[in-house]
Structure 1
Protein backbone atom coordinates (compact mmCIF):
# COMPACT_ATOMS: atom_id res chain seq x y z
CA UNK A 1 0.00 0.00 0.00
CA UNK A 2 1.38 3.38 -0.94
CA UNK A 3 1.15 6.51 1.11
CA UNK A 4 2.12 10.07 0.38
CA UNK A 5 4.40 11.89 2.78
CA UNK A 6 2.47 15.14 2.92
CA UNK A 7 -0.06 16.44 0.41
CA UNK A 8 0.51 17.95 -2.98
CA UNK A 9 -0.07 21.68 -3.28
CA UNK A 10 -1.42 23.20 -6.45
CA UNK A 11 1.25 25.91 -6.19
CA UNK A 12 3.89 23.24 -6.79
CA UNK A 13 3.21 23.78 -10.49
CA UNK A 14 4.50 27.35 -10.26
CA UNK A 15 7.56 26.99 -8.07
CA UNK A 16 9.95 29.93 -7.89
CA UNK A 17 9.21 31.71 -11.13
CA UNK A 18 12.06 34.03 -12.13
CA UNK A 19 14.78 34.47 -9.54
CA UNK A 20 15.01 32.11 -6.62
CA UNK A 21 14.55 33.64 -3.16
CA UNK A 22 17.53 33.95 -0.87
CA UNK A 23 17.61 32.11 2.45
CA UNK A 24 16.25 34.27 5.24
CA UNK A 25 17.99 34.64 8.59
CA UNK A 26 15.57 32.40 10.48
CA UNK A 27 17.19 29.05 11.24
CA UNK A 28 15.37 25.78 10.61
CA UNK A 29 15.24 23.14 13.34
CA UNK A 30 17.56 20.68 11.63
CA UNK A 31 17.14 18.11 14.39
CA UNK A 32 13.43 17.87 13.53
CA UNK A 33 14.08 17.58 9.82
CA UNK A 34 16.86 15.00 10.03
CA UNK A 35 14.98 11.81 10.76
CA UNK A 36 18.20 9.95 11.58
CA UNK A 37 18.88 12.33 14.46
CA UNK A 38 22.06 13.75 12.94
CA UNK A 39 23.10 17.24 14.02
CA UNK A 40 25.06 20.18 12.84
CA UNK A 41 25.60 22.05 9.65
CA UNK A 42 28.32 24.20 8.24
CA UNK A 43 28.70 27.04 5.81
CA UNK A 44 28.50 26.86 2.06
CA UNK A 45 30.89 24.40 0.46
CA UNK A 46 30.56 25.44 -3.14
CA UNK A 47 33.60 27.05 -4.72
CA UNK A 48 32.82 30.17 -6.70
CA UNK A 49 33.16 29.44 -10.39
CA UNK A 50 32.93 31.89 -13.26
CA UNK A 51 29.76 31.40 -15.31
CA UNK A 52 30.15 31.78 -19.05
CA UNK A 53 28.52 34.89 -20.49
CA UNK A 54 26.82 32.70 -23.04
CA UNK A 55 25.59 29.23 -22.14
CA UNK A 56 24.66 28.20 -25.66
CA UNK A 57 27.76 26.21 -26.56
CA UNK A 58 27.09 22.69 -27.93
CA UNK A 59 27.05 19.70 -25.63
CA UNK A 60 30.20 17.66 -26.18
CA UNK A 61 29.29 14.46 -24.37
CA UNK A 62 30.27 13.37 -20.89
CA UNK A 63 33.65 13.72 -19.29
CA UNK A 64 35.51 10.48 -18.71
CA UNK A 65 33.41 8.69 -21.33
CA UNK A 66 29.76 7.74 -20.95
CA UNK A 67 26.84 8.65 -23.15
CA UNK A 68 26.43 11.47 -25.64
CA UNK A 69 23.31 13.59 -25.70
CA UNK A 70 22.32 14.43 -29.25
CA UNK A 71 19.72 17.20 -28.98
CA UNK A 72 18.76 16.60 -32.60
CA UNK A 73 17.26 13.24 -31.60
CA UNK A 74 13.93 14.81 -30.71
CA UNK A 75 10.31 14.23 -31.58
CA UNK A 76 9.70 15.18 -35.18
CA UNK A 77 11.86 18.08 -36.33
CA UNK A 78 11.31 20.42 -33.35
CA UNK A 79 14.55 20.92 -31.37
CA UNK A 80 14.01 24.30 -29.61
CA UNK A 81 17.76 24.97 -29.79
CA UNK A 82 17.44 28.73 -29.22
CA UNK A 83 15.01 28.20 -26.37
CA UNK A 84 17.40 25.74 -24.72
CA UNK A 85 20.21 28.28 -24.95
CA UNK A 86 18.03 31.02 -23.46
CA UNK A 87 16.99 28.74 -20.61
CA UNK A 88 20.64 27.99 -19.82
CA UNK A 89 21.37 31.72 -19.77
CA UNK A 90 18.43 32.32 -17.43
CA UNK A 91 19.70 29.62 -15.08
CA UNK A 92 23.18 31.20 -15.16
CA UNK A 93 21.59 34.48 -14.04
CA UNK A 94 19.54 32.83 -11.30
CA UNK A 95 22.35 30.61 -9.98
CA UNK A 96 25.53 32.71 -9.71
CA UNK A 97 28.72 30.66 -9.95
CA UNK A 98 26.92 27.75 -11.58
CA UNK A 99 29.22 25.00 -12.88
CA UNK A 100 29.56 25.46 -16.67
CA UNK A 101 28.99 21.71 -17.09
CA UNK A 102 25.50 22.11 -15.65
CA UNK A 103 24.74 25.01 -17.99
CA UNK A 104 26.01 23.01 -20.97
CA UNK A 105 23.70 20.15 -20.04
CA UNK A 106 20.69 22.47 -19.72
CA UNK A 107 21.51 23.97 -23.12
CA UNK A 108 21.79 20.52 -24.67
CA UNK A 109 19.04 18.40 -23.13
CA UNK A 110 15.65 19.00 -24.83
CA UNK A 111 13.34 19.56 -21.86
CA UNK A 112 10.21 19.43 -24.01
CA UNK A 113 10.91 15.76 -24.77
CA UNK A 114 10.21 14.93 -21.12
CA UNK A 115 6.86 16.75 -21.07
CA UNK A 116 3.38 16.04 -22.41
CA UNK A 117 3.02 17.80 -25.77
CA UNK A 118 0.39 20.11 -24.28
CA UNK A 119 3.17 21.66 -22.15
CA UNK A 120 5.71 22.18 -24.94
CA UNK A 121 5.03 25.91 -25.31
CA UNK A 122 6.12 26.39 -21.68
CA UNK A 123 8.92 23.81 -21.72
CA UNK A 124 11.72 26.38 -21.64
CA UNK A 125 10.24 28.63 -18.98
CA UNK A 126 12.25 28.44 -15.77
CA UNK A 127 9.46 26.89 -13.74
CA UNK A 128 7.96 23.58 -12.71
CA UNK A 129 5.36 22.00 -15.01
CA UNK A 130 2.91 19.09 -14.72
CA UNK A 131 3.92 15.73 -16.20
CA UNK A 132 0.84 13.69 -15.25
CA UNK A 133 -0.07 11.44 -12.33
CA UNK A 134 -0.06 14.47 -10.03
CA UNK A 135 3.68 14.99 -10.49
CA UNK A 136 5.85 17.78 -11.87
CA UNK A 137 9.09 18.36 -13.73
CA UNK A 138 11.24 20.52 -11.45
CA UNK A 139 12.25 24.11 -12.13
CA UNK A 140 15.60 24.11 -13.98
CA UNK A 141 17.15 26.70 -11.65
CA UNK A 142 16.28 24.56 -8.65
CA UNK A 143 17.78 21.47 -10.28
CA UNK A 144 20.92 23.51 -11.02
CA UNK A 145 21.19 24.59 -7.38
CA UNK A 146 20.95 20.97 -6.26
CA UNK A 147 23.45 19.72 -8.84
CA UNK A 148 25.83 22.53 -7.91
CA UNK A 149 25.60 21.52 -4.25
CA UNK A 150 26.30 17.87 -5.09
CA UNK A 151 29.51 18.62 -7.04
CA UNK A 152 29.39 15.15 -8.54
CA UNK A 153 32.78 14.05 -9.90
CA UNK A 154 32.95 13.26 -13.62
CA UNK A 155 33.73 9.61 -12.97
CA UNK A 156 31.24 9.26 -10.12
CA UNK A 157 28.16 7.17 -9.45
CA UNK A 158 24.92 9.03 -8.69
CA UNK A 159 21.45 8.18 -7.41
CA UNK A 160 18.25 10.11 -8.01
CA UNK A 161 15.15 9.44 -5.91
CA UNK A 162 11.86 10.50 -7.46
CA UNK A 163 12.96 10.44 -11.10
CA UNK A 164 9.54 11.32 -12.51
CA UNK A 165 9.90 11.98 -16.24
CA UNK A 166 13.70 11.60 -16.19
CA UNK A 167 14.78 15.19 -16.94
CA UNK A 168 16.91 15.69 -13.82
CA UNK A 169 18.49 12.28 -14.39
CA UNK A 170 19.41 13.38 -17.91
CA UNK A 171 21.17 16.46 -16.54
CA UNK A 172 22.89 14.38 -13.87
CA UNK A 173 24.07 12.02 -16.60
CA UNK A 174 26.13 14.88 -18.03
CA UNK A 175 28.05 15.09 -14.75
CA UNK A 176 28.43 11.46 -13.62
CA UNK A 177 29.66 8.31 -15.28
CA UNK A 178 26.79 6.17 -13.92
CA UNK A 179 23.31 7.26 -12.80
CA UNK A 180 20.65 5.14 -11.10
CA UNK A 181 17.22 6.79 -10.91
CA UNK A 182 14.35 5.45 -8.81
CA UNK A 183 10.67 6.12 -9.61
CA UNK A 184 7.77 4.50 -7.75
CA UNK A 185 5.20 4.98 -10.54
CA UNK A 186 5.65 2.38 -13.31
CA UNK A 187 4.06 4.52 -16.04
CA UNK A 188 6.36 7.48 -15.36
CA UNK A 189 9.37 5.17 -15.12
CA UNK A 190 8.59 3.65 -18.52
CA UNK A 191 8.18 7.09 -20.08
CA UNK A 192 11.51 8.16 -18.61
CA UNK A 193 13.23 5.06 -19.99
CA UNK A 194 11.79 5.63 -23.45
CA UNK A 195 12.76 9.31 -23.55
CA UNK A 196 16.31 8.70 -22.34
CA UNK A 197 16.75 5.93 -24.90
CA UNK A 198 15.40 8.13 -27.70
CA UNK A 199 17.91 10.85 -26.78
CA UNK A 200 20.82 8.43 -26.68
CA UNK A 201 21.50 8.87 -22.96
CA UNK A 202 22.86 5.44 -22.12
CA UNK A 203 24.39 5.90 -18.66
CA UNK A 204 21.07 6.17 -16.76
CA UNK A 205 19.24 3.13 -15.38
CA UNK A 206 15.63 3.60 -14.22
CA UNK A 207 14.43 1.41 -11.33
CA UNK A 208 10.77 1.06 -10.28
CA UNK A 209 10.58 1.00 -6.49
CA UNK A 210 10.09 3.01 -3.32
CA UNK A 211 13.05 5.36 -3.29
CA UNK A 212 13.07 6.06 0.44
CA UNK A 213 15.24 2.96 0.90
CA UNK A 214 17.70 4.10 -1.72
CA UNK A 215 19.30 1.49 -3.95
CA UNK A 216 21.76 -0.43 -1.74
CA UNK A 217 22.78 -2.91 -4.43
CA UNK A 218 24.58 -0.15 -6.35
CA UNK A 219 25.85 1.89 -3.36
CA UNK A 220 27.92 3.77 -2.38
CA UNK A 221 27.10 6.93 -4.30
CA UNK A 222 29.14 10.06 -4.86
CA UNK A 223 25.93 12.07 -5.23
CA UNK A 224 22.33 11.49 -4.14
CA UNK A 225 19.68 13.81 -5.58
CA UNK A 226 16.18 13.64 -4.07
CA UNK A 227 13.55 15.20 -6.34
CA UNK A 228 10.55 14.90 -3.99
CA UNK A 229 10.13 16.06 -0.42
CA UNK A 230 10.01 13.73 2.61
CA UNK A 231 9.09 15.13 6.01
CA UNK A 232 12.43 13.94 7.35
CA UNK A 233 15.56 12.58 5.71
CA UNK A 234 15.29 8.82 5.01
CA UNK A 235 18.26 7.29 6.88
CA UNK A 236 19.07 4.85 4.06
CA UNK A 237 19.88 7.68 1.65
CA UNK A 238 22.50 9.15 3.96
CA UNK A 239 23.91 5.73 4.75
CA UNK A 240 24.52 4.99 1.06
CA UNK A 241 26.83 7.97 0.52
CA UNK A 242 30.45 7.27 -0.35
CA UNK A 243 33.20 9.05 1.57
CA UNK A 244 33.21 12.57 0.18
CA UNK A 245 29.75 12.01 -1.30
CA UNK A 246 26.92 14.50 -0.99
CA UNK A 247 23.16 14.33 -0.56
CA UNK A 248 20.72 17.09 -1.62
CA UNK A 249 17.17 16.65 -0.31
CA UNK A 250 14.17 18.99 0.08
CA UNK A 251 12.63 18.40 3.49
CA UNK A 252 9.42 19.62 5.08
CA UNK A 253 5.65 19.51 4.84
CA UNK A 254 3.31 20.77 2.16
CA UNK A 255 3.58 24.36 3.37
CA UNK A 256 7.25 24.84 4.22
CA UNK A 257 10.32 23.08 2.82
CA UNK A 258 14.06 23.70 2.84
CA UNK A 259 16.80 22.16 0.77
CA UNK A 260 19.30 20.34 2.98
CA UNK A 261 22.74 19.27 1.82
CA UNK A 262 24.96 16.70 3.55
CA UNK A 263 28.53 15.55 2.99
CA UNK A 264 30.13 12.37 4.33
CA UNK A 265 33.62 13.08 5.69
CA UNK A 266 36.32 10.42 5.97
CA UNK A 267 35.65 10.20 9.71
CA UNK A 268 32.80 11.25 11.97
CA UNK A 269 29.16 12.01 11.32
CA UNK A 270 27.59 13.59 8.27
CA UNK A 271 28.01 17.34 8.00
CA UNK A 272 24.80 19.19 7.16
CA UNK A 273 23.96 22.64 5.94
CA UNK A 274 20.74 24.39 5.06
CA UNK A 275 20.29 25.82 1.57
CA UNK A 276 17.37 27.62 -0.10
CA UNK A 277 13.64 27.43 0.60
CA UNK A 278 11.85 25.31 -1.98
CA UNK A 279 8.62 23.48 -2.76
CA UNK A 280 8.53 19.96 -4.20
CA UNK A 281 5.78 17.40 -4.55
CA UNK A 282 5.80 15.01 -1.57
CA UNK A 283 7.82 11.82 -1.61
CA UNK A 284 5.56 8.79 -2.06
CA UNK A 285 6.55 5.69 -0.09
CA UNK A 286 5.08 2.20 0.16
Structure 2
Protein backbone atom coordinates (compact mmCIF):
# COMPACT_ATOMS: atom_id res chain seq x y z
CA UNK A 1 0.00 0.00 0.00
CA UNK A 2 1.40 3.43 -0.92
CA UNK A 3 1.47 6.31 1.56
CA UNK A 4 -0.78 9.30 0.79
CA UNK A 5 1.22 11.90 -1.10
CA UNK A 6 0.04 14.74 1.17
CA UNK A 7 1.85 13.44 4.25
CA UNK A 8 5.23 15.03 3.53
CA UNK A 9 3.58 18.47 3.25
CA UNK A 10 1.58 17.81 6.42
CA UNK A 11 4.73 16.73 8.21
CA UNK A 12 6.52 19.88 7.10
CA UNK A 13 3.61 22.01 8.29
CA UNK A 14 3.66 20.23 11.67
CA UNK A 15 7.41 20.82 12.01
CA UNK A 16 6.98 24.46 11.02
CA UNK A 17 4.22 24.99 13.59
CA UNK A 18 6.39 23.35 16.22
CA UNK A 19 9.26 25.69 15.40
CA UNK A 20 6.96 28.71 15.69
CA UNK A 21 5.67 27.53 19.08
CA UNK A 22 9.24 26.95 20.27
CA UNK A 23 10.23 30.46 19.19
CA UNK A 24 7.21 31.97 20.95
CA UNK A 25 8.14 30.07 24.13
CA UNK A 26 11.62 31.59 23.94
CA UNK A 27 10.15 35.07 23.53
CA UNK A 28 7.77 34.47 26.46
CA UNK A 29 10.71 33.53 28.69
CA UNK A 30 12.60 36.61 27.52
CA UNK A 31 9.62 38.82 28.33
CA UNK A 32 9.42 37.33 31.83
CA UNK A 33 13.13 38.02 32.34
CA UNK A 34 12.65 41.57 31.04
CA UNK A 35 9.87 42.23 33.56
CA UNK A 36 12.05 40.86 36.38
CA UNK A 37 14.84 43.23 35.36
CA UNK A 38 12.42 46.17 35.27
CA UNK A 39 11.19 45.29 38.76
CA UNK A 40 14.81 45.34 39.94
CA UNK A 41 15.38 48.76 38.38
CA UNK A 42 12.30 50.08 40.14
CA UNK A 43 13.87 49.35 43.51
CA UNK A 44 16.57 51.92 42.70
CA UNK A 45 14.11 54.61 41.59
CA UNK A 46 11.39 53.97 44.19
CA UNK A 47 12.17 57.16 46.11
CA UNK A 48 11.78 59.30 42.98
CA UNK A 49 8.74 57.55 41.58
CA UNK A 50 6.92 56.52 44.73
CA UNK A 51 6.54 53.02 43.25
CA UNK A 52 8.53 49.98 44.35
CA UNK A 53 7.06 47.53 41.88
CA UNK A 54 4.83 47.25 38.86
CA UNK A 55 1.10 46.78 39.30
CA UNK A 56 -0.31 43.47 38.12
CA UNK A 57 -2.00 44.99 35.02
CA UNK A 58 1.19 46.69 33.82
CA UNK A 59 3.42 43.70 34.55
CA UNK A 60 0.90 41.48 32.77
CA UNK A 61 0.86 43.73 29.72
CA UNK A 62 4.64 43.70 29.48
CA UNK A 63 4.65 39.91 29.72
CA UNK A 64 2.09 39.64 26.93
CA UNK A 65 2.85 42.34 24.36
CA UNK A 66 5.30 40.86 21.81
CA UNK A 67 7.95 43.59 21.62
CA UNK A 68 9.78 41.62 18.94
CA UNK A 69 6.85 42.34 16.62
CA UNK A 70 7.43 46.09 16.99
CA UNK A 71 11.02 46.17 15.72
CA UNK A 72 12.67 45.19 12.46
CA UNK A 73 13.96 41.69 11.79
CA UNK A 74 17.54 42.82 12.41
CA UNK A 75 16.62 44.04 15.90
CA UNK A 76 14.57 41.02 17.02
CA UNK A 77 17.49 39.31 18.79
CA UNK A 78 17.66 42.36 21.08
CA UNK A 79 13.91 42.94 21.46
CA UNK A 80 13.76 42.03 25.16
CA UNK A 81 16.93 43.74 26.25
CA UNK A 82 16.24 46.67 28.53
CA UNK A 83 17.33 49.35 26.09
CA UNK A 84 15.93 51.48 23.28
CA UNK A 85 16.23 50.14 19.74
CA UNK A 86 16.21 51.89 16.35
CA UNK A 87 13.03 51.69 14.30
CA UNK A 88 14.14 53.83 11.34
CA UNK A 89 13.74 57.49 10.39
CA UNK A 90 16.00 58.50 13.27
CA UNK A 91 13.48 57.21 15.83
CA UNK A 92 13.64 54.57 18.55
CA UNK A 93 11.38 52.22 20.46
CA UNK A 94 11.70 53.26 24.10
CA UNK A 95 13.57 51.30 26.74
CA UNK A 96 11.15 48.78 28.33
CA UNK A 97 11.81 50.23 31.80
CA UNK A 98 10.70 53.67 30.59
CA UNK A 99 7.61 52.22 28.90
CA UNK A 100 6.78 50.42 32.15
CA UNK A 101 7.30 53.49 34.33
CA UNK A 102 5.30 55.81 32.09
CA UNK A 103 2.45 53.33 31.85
CA UNK A 104 2.49 52.80 35.60
CA UNK A 105 2.54 56.50 36.50
CA UNK A 106 -0.35 57.37 34.21
CA UNK A 107 -2.59 55.39 36.58
CA UNK A 108 -4.98 54.74 33.70
CA UNK A 109 -7.93 52.44 34.31
CA UNK A 110 -9.76 50.18 31.85
CA UNK A 111 -11.84 52.37 29.56
CA UNK A 112 -9.82 55.54 30.18
CA UNK A 113 -9.17 57.65 27.10
CA UNK A 114 -5.41 58.14 26.70
CA UNK A 115 -3.66 60.38 24.19
CA UNK A 116 -0.18 59.32 23.08
CA UNK A 117 2.11 61.72 21.24
CA UNK A 118 4.66 59.81 19.17
CA UNK A 119 3.31 56.44 18.00
CA UNK A 120 6.66 55.22 16.71
CA UNK A 121 6.29 51.48 16.14
CA UNK A 122 3.18 51.42 18.42
CA UNK A 123 4.73 49.35 21.24
CA UNK A 124 3.82 51.85 23.96
CA UNK A 125 0.31 52.14 22.53
CA UNK A 126 -0.03 48.35 22.60
CA UNK A 127 1.03 48.21 26.26
CA UNK A 128 -1.50 50.92 27.15
CA UNK A 129 -4.20 49.13 25.16
CA UNK A 130 -3.43 45.84 26.90
CA UNK A 131 -3.84 47.55 30.27
CA UNK A 132 -7.30 48.51 29.03
CA UNK A 133 -6.94 52.10 27.83
CA UNK A 134 -8.70 53.47 24.77
CA UNK A 135 -5.62 54.88 23.02
CA UNK A 136 -5.48 57.80 20.59
CA UNK A 137 -1.96 57.94 19.13
CA UNK A 138 -0.41 60.57 16.86
CA UNK A 139 2.76 60.18 14.76
CA UNK A 140 4.29 62.97 12.69
CA UNK A 141 6.49 60.77 10.47
CA UNK A 142 4.18 59.39 7.81
CA UNK A 143 6.01 56.11 7.00
CA UNK A 144 6.16 55.25 10.70
CA UNK A 145 2.49 56.14 11.12
CA UNK A 146 1.55 53.93 8.16
CA UNK A 147 3.58 50.93 9.33
CA UNK A 148 2.29 51.31 12.90
CA UNK A 149 -1.29 51.35 11.61
CA UNK A 150 -0.69 48.14 9.65
CA UNK A 151 1.00 46.49 12.64
CA UNK A 152 -1.85 47.39 14.99
CA UNK A 153 -4.36 45.90 12.54
CA UNK A 154 -2.28 42.73 12.01
CA UNK A 155 -1.89 42.14 15.75
CA UNK A 156 -5.59 42.70 16.37
CA UNK A 157 -5.61 45.70 18.70
CA UNK A 158 -9.13 47.15 18.59
CA UNK A 159 -8.69 49.98 21.09
CA UNK A 160 -5.88 51.92 19.39
CA UNK A 161 -6.79 54.81 17.08
CA UNK A 162 -4.04 56.48 15.04
CA UNK A 163 -3.54 59.56 12.97
CA UNK A 164 -0.64 61.27 11.19
CA UNK A 165 0.07 64.80 12.37
CA UNK A 166 1.87 67.18 14.69
CA UNK A 167 1.30 65.91 18.21
CA UNK A 168 2.02 69.31 19.75
CA UNK A 169 -1.58 70.26 18.97
CA UNK A 170 -3.05 67.03 20.29
CA UNK A 171 -6.34 65.56 19.06
CA UNK A 172 -8.94 68.25 19.89
CA UNK A 173 -11.98 66.47 18.49
CA UNK A 174 -11.33 63.44 20.72
CA UNK A 175 -10.59 65.48 23.86
CA UNK A 176 -10.75 65.61 26.80
CA UNK A 177 -8.38 62.80 27.79
CA UNK A 178 -8.04 61.06 31.13
CA UNK A 179 -4.28 60.87 30.57
CA UNK A 180 -1.68 62.06 28.05
CA UNK A 181 1.69 60.45 27.38
CA UNK A 182 4.35 62.16 25.28
CA UNK A 183 7.21 60.01 23.97
CA UNK A 184 9.39 62.80 22.54
CA UNK A 185 11.17 65.61 24.36
CA UNK A 186 9.67 69.10 24.18
CA UNK A 187 11.27 72.38 25.22
CA UNK A 188 8.11 73.16 27.19
CA UNK A 189 4.77 71.59 28.03
CA UNK A 190 2.48 72.25 25.02
CA UNK A 191 -0.52 74.41 26.06
CA UNK A 192 -2.89 72.53 23.69
CA UNK A 193 -2.13 69.30 25.56
CA UNK A 194 -2.77 70.93 28.93
CA UNK A 195 -6.09 72.19 27.59
CA UNK A 196 -7.06 68.69 26.36
CA UNK A 197 -6.24 67.02 29.68
CA UNK A 198 -9.34 66.27 31.72
CA UNK A 199 -9.68 67.70 35.23
CA UNK A 200 -8.20 65.09 37.55
CA UNK A 201 -6.00 63.82 34.71
CA UNK A 202 -2.27 63.18 34.40
CA UNK A 203 0.29 63.85 31.70
CA UNK A 204 3.83 62.48 31.42
CA UNK A 205 6.22 64.37 29.17
CA UNK A 206 10.01 64.58 28.77
CA UNK A 207 11.08 68.23 28.90
CA UNK A 208 14.44 69.46 27.61
CA UNK A 209 16.45 69.31 24.41
CA UNK A 210 18.57 66.61 22.79
CA UNK A 211 21.91 68.02 23.97
CA UNK A 212 21.04 68.74 27.61
CA UNK A 213 19.56 66.71 30.44
CA UNK A 214 15.88 66.03 29.90
CA UNK A 215 13.51 65.47 32.79
CA UNK A 216 10.47 63.24 32.79
CA UNK A 217 7.78 65.56 34.14
CA UNK A 218 4.48 64.57 35.71
CA UNK A 219 1.73 67.11 35.02
CA UNK A 220 -1.45 66.92 37.09
CA UNK A 221 -4.62 68.96 36.57
CA UNK A 222 -6.82 69.12 39.65
CA UNK A 223 -10.58 69.43 39.77
CA UNK A 224 -10.26 73.23 39.81
CA UNK A 225 -8.20 73.15 36.58
CA UNK A 226 -5.02 74.09 38.45
CA UNK A 227 -1.78 72.60 37.12
CA UNK A 228 0.94 71.01 39.23
CA UNK A 229 4.21 69.67 37.83
CA UNK A 230 6.94 67.47 39.27
CA UNK A 231 10.24 66.30 37.83
CA UNK A 232 10.69 62.54 38.19
CA UNK A 233 13.73 61.18 36.35
CA UNK A 234 16.49 62.24 33.96
CA UNK A 235 15.69 60.68 30.58
CA UNK A 236 16.85 60.72 26.96
CA UNK A 237 14.20 60.98 24.22
CA UNK A 238 14.25 62.02 20.59
CA UNK A 239 12.97 65.59 20.13
CA UNK A 240 9.35 66.49 19.47
CA UNK A 241 9.33 67.72 15.89
CA UNK A 242 6.89 69.79 13.85
CA UNK A 243 6.08 73.41 13.00
CA UNK A 244 4.90 74.34 16.49
CA UNK A 245 6.52 77.09 18.62
Same fold (TM over 0.5): yes
* CA RMSD across the alignment: 1.2
Aligned pair 1:112/2:63, yes or no?
no
**Structure 1 counterpart of 2:214, from 245, 248, 257:** 257
Q: Encode CA deviations 1:18-56: one digit per residue, 9 max, x unaligned.
A: xxxxxxxxxxxxxxxxxxxxxxxxxxxxxxxxxxxxxxx
Cα contact 1:154–1:176 (8 A) shared by 2: yes
CA shift for structure 1 position 157: 0.3
Cα contact 2:216–2:231 (8 A) shared by 1: yes
Equivalent in the alignment of 1:51: none
Aligned pair 1:276/2:223, yes or no?
no
User: Whose RCO is larger (CA < 8 A, sep 6+)?
Assistant: 1
**Structure 2 counterpart of 1:128, from 76, 79, 84:** 84
Greater mean deviation of Cα atoms: 154-163 or 189-198: 189-198
Cα contact 2:199–2:225 (8 A) shared by 1: no
Higher Cα Rg: structure 1 or 2?
Answer: 2
Q: Which has the higher helix share?
A: 2
CA shift for structure 1 position 268: 4.3
Q: How does 1:1-286 map to 2 (within 5 A)?
A: 78-79=23-24, 80-95=27-42, 96-254=52-210, 255-286=212-243
Question: How many equivalent pairs are there?
Answer: 211
Give structure 1 stretches of 5+ with no counterpart. Answer: 1-75
Q: 2: distance between equivalents of 1:110 and 1:176?
A: 16
Q: Encode CA deviations 1:169-189: one digit per residue, 9 max, x unaligned.
A: 000112244110000111111
Q: 1: distance between equivalents of 2:194 and 2:54?
A: 25
Cα contact 2:71–2:121 (8 A) shared by 1: yes
Runs of 4+ aligned residues of structure 1 deviating over 2 Å after TM superposition are 76-79
